[in-house]
Amino acid sequence: MKRLTACIAVFALVLGLTMGLILSHTQDALAAVIIKIAGMKPEGEPETISMHKFGEYLKKLSNGKYEVKVYPNSILGKEDSYIAQTRKGIIQMCATGTQTSALHPAMAMLETPMLFDSYAHARKAMDGGPTFELINKGFPEKSGLRTMNAFPLGFRHFYTKKPLKDVKDLLGLRLRVPNIPLYIRFAKECGISGQAMPFAEVHGALDQGIIDGGDSPLADIVSKKMYEITPEITLTGHILVIHSLYINKKFYDNLPEQDKKWFDEAAKLAADYVWKEMEKIDSEAEKTILANKGHITQPNEAFRAHMKNAAEKTWNLFRETVPNCQEILDSAAALK
């Protein structure tokens, strides 16, 4: 009897150890695959919202197989750095905008000045629309990246120390511009004295009187509290900033077909969310600006005509570098 009891005890012990090992291996097999995605914007801005939403949707669609870890606010380095990391497969994904034009010039046309009249117009063109497809033609093969979606960060508007009531108020104005040929050329065509510098240096340059203002989406103006130094916001909407989620092409191509569908659907849903929320984001930003003694004005028709004329002159930059430039411009115009 004692011997039987001992055998049963040993059997139970072995069974317990075996089951433990099986459960352990099962748990390892079920552990989520971590997808790393890097961006430049801080928490709460449209780019970072899109990354988080992508993670939520992908986790739900894959039933927990994939989990997205978001690295916002340039935690993994500046745009050039994390784009390179994504191309090399060090991380799987990133979010950025026209920085990818260094790899494929047509990507600069994501932010063509005065191309879109409204978010609705832009969405038709860019949210899986013909303009988006034409801009991305040949991009994956050149870059090693796949563009998963396109979503707005907002229209750029001027923020200045003094109000811009007429075109003459714009001429010779010292405004900060990103160190990007398109932005520098556009400022010149507008009659602005463009001062190329990183956004991080703007506050100091304003304090020292080096510049009189700049231009940014309303979400950026609020997040950086630009209205405290430059309370005059002029709603020109001259450039719609569009960013995308990018994925390492080799990583994507090696995914099972069902998993590719999950990634595609999660990216689409994330972009949909931002497109739907963008007007609300702008509205809340305007309320914040006004509540903090900022002023918001609409430019007159002469001002808008001046901006449009300047914008069309900058389009020649694209004609010099993008073979299908006119086709891209025509596709966007046809959707107005």
Position 181 scores a pLDDT of: 87
Q: How many CA atoms lie within 13 A of 211 on its CB side?
A: 26
The span from the CA of 89 to the CA of 87, in Å, is 6
122: left (phi over 0), alpha (psi -120 to 50) or beta: alpha
pTM (2 decimals)?
A: 0.87
User: For 224, phi and psi rounded to 5 degrees?
Assistant: -95, 0
The sign of the torsion formed by the CA atoms of 198, 200, 206, 208 equals negative
Nearest to 245 by CA among 266, 260, 259: 266
The span from the CA of 244 to the CA of 150, in Å, is 4
Q: Which residues, 6+ apart, have CB-to-CB distance to 91 below 8 Å?
A: 36, 37, 38, 71, 76, 82, 85, 248
280 beta partners: none
Nearest to 221 by CA among 166, 282, 293: 282
The span from the CA of 194 to the CA of 174, in Å, is 6
pLDDT (tens digit per residue) in 7-54:
444 444 444 544 444 433 443 446 899 999 999 999 988 999 999 999
Task: Determine the number of helices (DSSP H) and then strands (DSSP E) in the chain.
Answer: 14, 11
Domain ranges of the chain: 27-333
SS3 230: coil
Position 121 scores a pLDDT of: 97
Task: Report yes or no: 82 and 76 within 8 Å, Cβ to Cβ.
Answer: yes
The sign of the torsion formed by the CA atoms of 81, 83, 87, 89 equals positive
Position 3 scores a pLDDT of: 53
The sign of the torsion formed by the CA atoms of 74, 80, 83, 84 equals negative
What are the residue ranges in the chain where pLDDT is below 50? 1, 4, 6-15, 17-29
pLDDT (tens digit per residue) in 311-322:
999 999 999 999
Convert 203-230 to b/e letters by CB count within 10 Å (16 or more is b). eebbeeeebbbbbbbbbbbbbbebbeeb
Q: What is the DSSP letter of 44?
A: T
The span from the CA of 23 to the CA of 180, in Å, is 55
Position 128 scores a pLDDT of: 87
Task: Report yes or no: 190 and 306 within 8 Å, Cβ to Cβ.
Answer: yes
Greatest CA span in the chain, whole angstroms? 106
Query: At the topology level of CATH, where does 27-333 sit?
Result: D-Maltodextrin-Binding Protein; domain 2 (3.40.190)
Q: How many CB atoms lie within 10 A of CB 254?
A: 10
